[in-house]
């Protein structure tokens, strides 16, 4: 459907031309023996010879070659690398399932405050009251947002959260003398789900989706017995749809003594609207780098807090930050804790950004986040449906999965070609070929921080690409043309593996 939006300037990265197209040598090639950049403090500590400190038999015979560059060369090298990199700050990143929203600079600033960033993790509680208070406050906020009873902040990322959840399930059942073996997972699930299940010591039973893109409730019921430890669901699911029968599923799983795990990857869509705890879930993780806008960092760091219902509180990892009866803050380990999940207290700096984001938005702002994320996704769905029919033609949540199957059949242009052509247009590509159940899937998640004009610009580029698929189908296979590099030979990378400079 056409819109009446006049696309204002901006909204898209002028892509490739902005980014460096000249190849950058590695730091090792820039190295010149004898150059250096480092400067260390004058300490006056007695300079005992190394051999008097450590037996010579344990020492290296020659230096480890790192690189020898000047500070100026170092700065130029990494600045030029940064020019060869797309980012949220540069342009629109409609990458489905990844919630690439704008990362407020403020959250970075407050986390990096002296008094937070420079605190050693083994600092006794009495000397780190502010940090513990911050973590306790975040736990309380996350409980309210999720409708759960308690939270652990230790898991370092979503996948670690999933494993934490499965270990909690296992501990819960074990305490009842119950050794259950199976976990139900829909076929549309994120790959981390089944991988975590295996590492948690369970077996996966895959549940098919129905023609609506939802979990087949009859199939769930048929698979349930007392050997099922629980079910892992994403809701809204990975095709961007709300599992409407969740209450019925929850009741059925609970009836056989199983637990419900909520993959919080798509929490952004429902903030302040509906809570996993109220849907009947017992355990969930949150991907704070998605929902709460902590920067992705090119693939991490994340943080994956896990929230649980009352019946699982006693098993949470420890030590856990708590407010003590005297009003001070300290740590306690829950009575039947599964143990420690992180070297220290979790990814504290990421968690501090999370709290800052929550405080700026407040309860009212978080609801607006969900509303506008869903509004943007639906506007985009409707806007592009002519060329890119949605895989499931219904009101979607925060993301929309469309199929390029028809385009492929008519023109030969694949979902991948469309994604690569978008790079040439100055946008990041959507997620492609996921979820696995949709033919030539393109998954768009615009997030709430993109403007109507930016969405229109994306839609126009998608139209242009669809037209090109018909008029000049071969050209899409050659896209992108003006990015820092063009399509890369992934097969060669795997076949002739060069994982380090020394393997060249």
Partner 1 sequence: MADYMPHTPDEISEMLGFLGMTSVDELFVAIPAALQLGRALNLPDGHSEPDVRADFQAYARRNSGASSTLLCFAGAGSYDHEIPPVVKALGSRSEFVTAYTPYQPEVAQGVLQAVFEFQTMVARLAGLPISNASLYDGAASLVEAVNLTAASSGNPVVWISSGVQPHWRQVLATFAEGTGHDIRDVPLRNGQADFSSMTGTPGVIVVANPTYLGTLDDVEGAKALALQHGAKLVVAADPITASLLKSPGSQGADVVIGEGQALGTPLSFGGPYLGLFACADAELRRLPGRLVGETLDVDGTRAYVTTLRAREQDIRREKATSNVCSNQTLMAVWAAIQLGWLGTKGIREVALRSIQGTRYLRDELIKIDGVEALTGDAPVTRDAAVVLPISASLAIERLAEEGFLAGISVSALTGGGDRSIDASVVENTLLVAATEKRTRVEIDALVAATEKIVR
Among 22, 16, 23, 27, CA closest to 75: 27
Asked if 54 is part of the footprint of partner 1 (rule: CB under 8 A), the reply reads yes
Tokens of 498: 């060069």
d(CA 353, CA 298): 17
Asked if 114 is part of the footprint of partner 1 (rule: CB under 8 A), the reply reads yes
Tell me which stretch binds partner 1 (CB under 8 A): 165-173, 252-260, 404-412, 459-467: 165-173
Q: H or E stretch including 261? A: strand 259-264
Give the number of residues in contact with partner 1, rule: CB under 8 A: 213
Q: H or E stretch including 75? A: helix 71-82
* Contact (Cβ atoms closer than 8 angstroms) between residue 1 and residue 467: no
Site for partner 1 in 206-225 (CB under 8 A): none
Cβ nearer to partner 1, comparing 386 with 410: 386
Site for partner 1 in 405-444 (CB under 8 A): 419-420, 423, 428-429, 434
Whose tokens are 């990975």? That residue is 238
Site for partner 1 in 223-262 (CB under 8 A): 241-242, 244, 246-247
Among 119, 148, 129, CA closest to 322: 129
Cα 24 to the chain's mean position, in Å?
A: 29
Cβ nearer to partner 1, comparing 323 with 394: 394
What's the closest the beta carbon of residue 410 comes to partner 1, in angstroms?
25
Among 329, 288, 318, CA closest to 131: 329
Binding mask 359-398 for partner 1 (x = CB under 8 A): xxxxxxxxxxx-xx-xxx-xx--xx----------xx-x-
Using CB under 8 A, pick the residue from 9, 326, 327, 343 that binds partner 1.
Answer: 343
Cβ nearer to partner 1, comparing 205 with 411: 205
d(CA 308, CA 139): 11
Cβ nearer to partner 1, comparing 195 with 252: 195
Using CB under 8 A, pick the residue from 85, 225, 255, 472 that binds partner 1.
Answer: 85
What's the closest the beta carbon of residue 280 comes to partner 1, in angstroms?
9
For residue 278, how many other CB atoms are within 10 A of its CB?
A: 12
Using CB under 8 A, pick the residue from 133, 227, 385, 463 that binds partner 1.
Answer: 133
Distance from the first to the final alpha carbon of the chain: 51
* Contact (Cβ atoms closer than 8 angstroms) between residue 201 and residue 249: no
Site for partner 1 in 259-318 (CB under 8 A): 270-275, 278-279, 289, 293, 295-303, 317
Cβ nearer to partner 1, comparing 340 with 409: 340
Cβ nearer to partner 1, comparing 440 with 445: 445
Distances (CA, A) of 171 to 23, 197, 312, 333: 53, 14, 9, 15
> Would strands 400-403 and 441-444 be described as parallel, antiparallel, or unpaired?
antiparallel
Site for partner 1 in 88-107 (CB under 8 A): 88-90, 93, 95, 98, 100-104, 106
What's the closest the beta carbon of residue 221 comes to partner 1, in angstroms?
19
Tell me which stretch binds partner 1 (CB under 8 A): 142-150, 220-228, 404-412, 468-476: 142-150
Asked if 150 is part of the footprint of partner 1 (rule: CB under 8 A), the reply reads no
Binding mask 6-45 for partner 1 (x = CB under 8 A): ---------xx--x---xx-xxx------xxxxxxxxxxx
What's the closest the beta carbon of residue 430 comes to partner 1, in angstroms?
10
* Contact (Cβ atoms closer than 8 angstroms) between residue 6 and residue 467: no
DSSP state of 427: S
d(CA 484, CA 473): 23
Q: H or E stretch including 283? A: strand 283-286
Site for partner 1 in 437-476 (CB under 8 A): 448-452
Cβ nearer to partner 1, comparing 258 with 446: 446
């Amino acid at each position: 459907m056409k819109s009446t939006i006049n696309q204002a300037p901006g909204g898209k990265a002028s892509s490739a031309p902005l980014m460096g197209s000249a190849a950058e040598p590695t730091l090792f090639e820039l190295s010149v023996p004898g150059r250096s950049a480092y400067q260390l403090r004058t300490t006056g500590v007695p300079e005992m010879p190394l051999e008097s400190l450590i037996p010579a038999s344990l020492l290296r015979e020659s230096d480890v070659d790192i690189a020898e560059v000047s500070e100026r060369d170092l700065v130029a090298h990494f600045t030029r690398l940064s020019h060869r990199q797309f980012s949220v700050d540069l342009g629109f990143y409609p990458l489905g399932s990844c919630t690439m929203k704008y990362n407020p600079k403020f959250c970075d600033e407050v986390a990096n405050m002296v008094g937070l960033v420079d605190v050693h993790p083994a600092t006794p509680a009495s000397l780190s009251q502010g940090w513990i208070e911050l973590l306790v406050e975040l736990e309380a906020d996350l409980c309210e947002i999720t409708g759960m009873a308690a939270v652990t902040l230790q898991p370092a990322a979503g996948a670690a959260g999933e494993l934490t959840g499965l270990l909690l399930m296992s501990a819960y059942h074990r305490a009842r003398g119950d050794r259950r073996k199976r976990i139900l997972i829909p076929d549309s699930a994120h790959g981390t789900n089944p991988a975590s299940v295996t590492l948690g010591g369970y077996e996966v039973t895959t549940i098919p989706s129905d023609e609506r893109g939802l979990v087949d409730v009859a199939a769930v019921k048929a698979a349930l017995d007392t050997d099922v430890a629980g079910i892992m669901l994403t809701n809204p699911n990975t095709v961007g749809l709300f599992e409407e029968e969740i209450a019925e599923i929850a009741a059925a799983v609970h009836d056989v003594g199983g637990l419900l795990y909520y993959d919080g990857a798509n929490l952004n869509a429902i903030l302040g609207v509906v809570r996993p705890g109220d849907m009947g879930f017992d355990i969930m993780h949150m991907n704070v780098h998605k929902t709460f806008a902590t920067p992705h960092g090119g693939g991490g760091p994340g943080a994956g807090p896990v929230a649980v219902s009352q019946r699982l509180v006693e098993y949470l990892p420890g030590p856990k930050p708590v407010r003590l009866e005297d009003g001070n803050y300290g740590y306690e380990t829950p009575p039947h804790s599964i143990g420690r999940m992180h070297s220290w207290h979790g990814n504290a700096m990421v968690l501090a950004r999370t709290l800052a984001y929550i405080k700026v938005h407040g309860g009212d702002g978080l609801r607006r986040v969900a509303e506008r994320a869903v509004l943007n996704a639906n506007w985009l769905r409707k806007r592009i449906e002519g060329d890119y029919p949605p895989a499931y033609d219904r009101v979607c949540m925060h993301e929309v999965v469309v199929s390029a199957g028809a385009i492929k059949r008519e023109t030969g242009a694949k979902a991948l070609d469309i994604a690569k052509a978008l790079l040439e247009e100055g946008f990041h590509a959507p997620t492609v070929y996921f979820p696995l159940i949709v033919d030539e899937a393109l998954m768009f998640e615009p997030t709430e921080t993109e403007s109507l004009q930016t969405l229109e610009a994306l839609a126009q580029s998608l139209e242009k690409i669809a037209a090109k698929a018909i008029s000049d189908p071969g050209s899409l296979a050659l896209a992108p043309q003006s990015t820092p590099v063009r399509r890369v030979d992934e097969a060669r990378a795997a076949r002739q593996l060069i994982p380090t400079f020394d393997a060249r």
